[in-house]
Amino acid sequence: MQLSPGRADIRKNLAYTLLKTGDSEAAREQFGEAVRLEPADLHIALEYAFLCFEARDDAPARKAEARRMFLRVKDSAGSSSELRATASQAFTNIDEPLKSGIARWQQVLSASPPAFSAHYELAQLAEQRDELELAVTEYRAAFQLLPERKSVLLELARAEKTRQNPEGAMSALLAASRGGEPRAAELAREQLPSRYPYVYEFRKALELDPKNNTLHRELAYLLLSMSEKEGASRDEAEREFRSVVAASPEDYLALAQLGLLYLADHRESEAMPLLKSVLANGDAATANRVRMALHLPLVLEERNAQEFATDPRVLGERSYKAGFLKDALRYLSQAREANPVDSSLALKLGWTNNLLHDDSTALRWFDIARHSSDPAIAAEAGKAYGNLRPEFQRFRTTFWMYPLYSSRWSDLFGYGQLKTELRVKILPLHPYVSVRLVGDVRRVAAGAVPTSLSESAFILGAGVATRQWHSAVGWFEVGVALGYLRGERWSDDRGGVSWSKTRGASLYAEQGGFFVENTADSVYVSHFGNNLINYSQNKVGYTASRAGFRTQAFWAANATVDIRRQYWANFVETGPGFRVHPPGLPASVNITFTATHGVYLRNEGNPRRPNFNDIRAGVWYAITK
């Protein structure tokens, strides 16, 4: 199935095998995929319908799917009479009880005061019968009667999604994810998009769940954050905090923030009563925030062992250190909801999502943390944000240059490339345009250097590159080379596969240690007689830091071969070297020195000795925007 995911027959056979092993849920999923791939196979559709009807997870939605599938087979002209009869009987067995049940509960609601159970049961039956408008109305009514039951919002979101109303589903999930039942909140977070909710989505969620103080407070802090970036007015954030305090006078965190906003605007007469109330009644952490703003002595927080053991922040940090990242994410999210102004929690959430490979969410948390008033948190988050941000830019521009001196050729070479690529997540390839420089010093005056080392040209190209996969990238481009010495012009097509891997302490690692670095490239160049040249460069060494200098001492072993058997492209070499990053220079700058002894593997046409020594010195610099 993994080799041929589009083949319905394989999925069908896998589903039957799963049924024999007793895994009916997995079998149902495979039958569902087979139906999607081959909708004309009504026998499989019938199998899928029966398994949906028997499902226990998301039962109303599954039974609704079963009813739809039975109806489709029953009304299909292409099905056999036996299949139609089976589907018709099954449809009747499902539909008639649903129809009578809906009528019965509607009668109950019309004759007696509204009750949670009546609205909820009616909503479940309506969803199973695909009466989605009725289901949404009744789920909403049930939730309004018992707003503590956040799990009802998950079912409302499911019904809204089925009736193609993503905004309604988002409102329900957002309300369920903030406050209330922990299990419902966790399930809601799993279904929310990776991006942070918009202001209008918070407002719609509050229309659905107006007593959700956690949700209301988070909206207020969002507006406050936006006002600091000029994305919203300060008055709008202040109004929201006043609304939070009016709805929940004992929300001392919101009360403190409102008082601090008044204080920042020099409205002491309005601020002080609020801040005094927080000092008198608020928890120790919130009261200390107020004391800091008023330049009063802080009070040591006293917490008993039970409070400490159940603190979401403590549980989150323990889970993070132990490697239980999903638990850490859940607890840290709860801690952040309780204290939205704590930038250290935003930083920790960034690292947790990064380790869980959810880099888009991690980027959002790093962005929040890098605006922290704490310089250490802001610096760490800013560095992480800068490292992640290029991966999510639509257009990414990179520039690199590598001037290199070689005693083997007694020449100074210059290599570089400026490239801009379009990066769209859904595309497997990234199109790009680039300008390359391949030049040297001696060819300007005189002397012969193989054209493979220097073409004395700017190469304009357009191409595509793959995403990185297991440290490998494929690319291909077509272009034209413009010689800058004599004005020559020729076509230049090139492409290949590049792979690199570093194990151990890299040059920029925080701690020193041993490292192994391997790179391999296979490059096709049309200008060299349609040649394919293969490179392997390997280093083993030790990374250390002295007086601000990051250094690596290593032993290198390199090999180069090509398919046209040119002497200059078939050799092996080995020798010592070192690499250094001087302090004060950009992080991507390093200087490399190597001294190698090499042997040509082919000597036909070689005007030189079969062995050579080479001392090379080069400076690498790269930048991404």
Three-class secondary structure assignment of 187-220: HHHHHCCCCCCCHHHHHHHHHHCCCCHHHHHHHH
The reply to whether 339 and 456 lie within a common domain is no
Which of residues 372, 392, 412 is at a domain's end?
392
21-58 residue pLDDT tens: 988 889 999 999 999 999 888 888 999 999 988 887 77
The reply to whether 358 and 434 lie within a common domain is no
Is the per-residue pLDDT at 315 higher than 60? yes
What's the mean pLDDT in 198-203? 90
* Nearest in space to 156 (alpha carbons), one of 164, 145, 168, 146: 168
What's the mean pLDDT in 359-371? 89
Q: What is the DSSP string of 303-325?
A: --HHHHHH-HHHHHHHHHHHT-H
What pLDDT shows up at residue 318?
83
Is the per-residue pLDDT at 436 higher than 90? yes
Is the per-residue pLDDT at 510 higher than 90? no
Query: What is the chain's Cα-based Rg?
Result: 33
Which of residues 163, 197, 227 is at a domain's end?
227
What pLDDT shows up at residue 448?
41
Residue 359's pLDDT band, with cuts at 50, 70 and 90, is confident
Coil, strand or helix at 422: strand
The reply to whether 336 and 462 lie within a common domain is no
Within a domain: 174: yes
What pLDDT shows up at residue 279?
87
Residue 232's pLDDT band, with cuts at 50, 70 and 90, is low
Coil, strand or helix at 13: helix
Give the range among 113-127, 293-307, 551-565, 599-613 with minimum mean pLDDT.
Answer: 293-307
Contact yes or no for 615/623 (Cβ under 8 A): no
- The residue with tokens 């895994």 is 23
Paired with 386 in beta bridges are: none
* Nearest in space to 204 (alpha carbons), one of 252, 146, 156, 257: 156
What pLDDT shows up at residue 310?
63
* Nearest in space to 390 (alpha carbons), one of 361, 358, 363: 363
Which of residues 200, 227, 254 is at a domain's end?
227
Contact yes or no for 492/480 (Cβ under 8 A): yes
Share of the chain above pLDDT 70, in %: 95
What are the phi and psi torsion angles at 476 (to 5°)?
-155, 140
Please tell me the distance from the alpha carbon of residue 168 to that of residue 208, in angstroms, as a whole number.
9
Within a domain: 365: yes
The reply to whether 312 and 423 lie within a common domain is no
Summary mean pLDDT of the chain:
87
Q: Which two tokens stand for residue 302?
A: 């006293």
What pLDDT shows up at residue 248?
83
Is the per-residue pLDDT at 464 higher than 70? yes
Instruction: Find the length of the chain.
Output: 625
Within a domain: 184: yes
Is the per-residue pLDDT at 620 higher than 80? yes
Is the per-residue pLDDT at 230 higher than 80? no
Please tell me the distance from the alpha carbon of residue 592 to that of residue 578, in angstroms, as a whole number.
6
Q: Which residues contact 407 (CB under 8 A, 6 or more apart)?
A: 613, 614, 615, 616
Within a domain: 255: no
Please tell me the distance from the alpha carbon of residue 63 to that of residue 159, in angstroms, as a whole number.
13
Residue 24: C-alpha distances to residues 11, 17, 21, 54 (Å): 14, 10, 8, 9
Please tell me the distance from the alpha carbon of residue 404 to that of residue 400, in angstroms, as a whole number.
13
Contact yes or no for 236/219 (Cβ under 8 A): no
What's the mean pLDDT in 67-74? 89
Residue 301's pLDDT band, with cuts at 50, 70 and 90, is low
The reply to whether 359 and 451 lie within a common domain is no
DSSP 8-state class, residue 567: G
134-193 residue pLDDT tens: 999 999 999 999 998 999 999 999 999 999 999 999 999 999 988 777 788 888 888 888
Q: Which two tokens stand for residue 47?
A: 């199998």
Q: Which two tokens stand for residue 281?
A: 């009644």
Please tell me the distance from the alpha carbon of residue 591 to that of residue 328, in angstroms, as a whole number.
41
The reply to whether 140 and 174 lie within a common domain is yes
Would you tell me how many other CB atoms lie within 10 Å of the CB of residue 88?
15
**CATH code of the domain in which 361 resides:** 1.25.40.10
The number of folded domains in the chain is 3
Is the per-residue pLDDT at 606 higher than 60? yes
Is the per-residue pLDDT at 293 higher than 90? no
Strands 549-562, 395-406: parallel, antiparallel or unpaired by DSSP? unpaired
Coil, strand or helix at 353: helix
Residue 418's pLDDT band, with cuts at 50, 70 and 90, is very high
Enclosing domain of residue 549:
395-624
Residue 207: C-alpha distances to residues 44, 172, 199, 215, 382 (Å): 43, 10, 13, 11, 36
**CATH code of the domain in which 51 resides:** 1.25.40
What's the mean pLDDT in 438-443? 78
Coil, strand or helix at 176: helix
In 3-state terms the chain splits into helix, strand, coil percentages (rounded to 5) of: 50, 25, 25
Q: Which residues contact 103 (CB under 8 A, 6 or more apart)?
A: none
End-to-end CA distance of the chain: 41
Within a domain: 196: yes
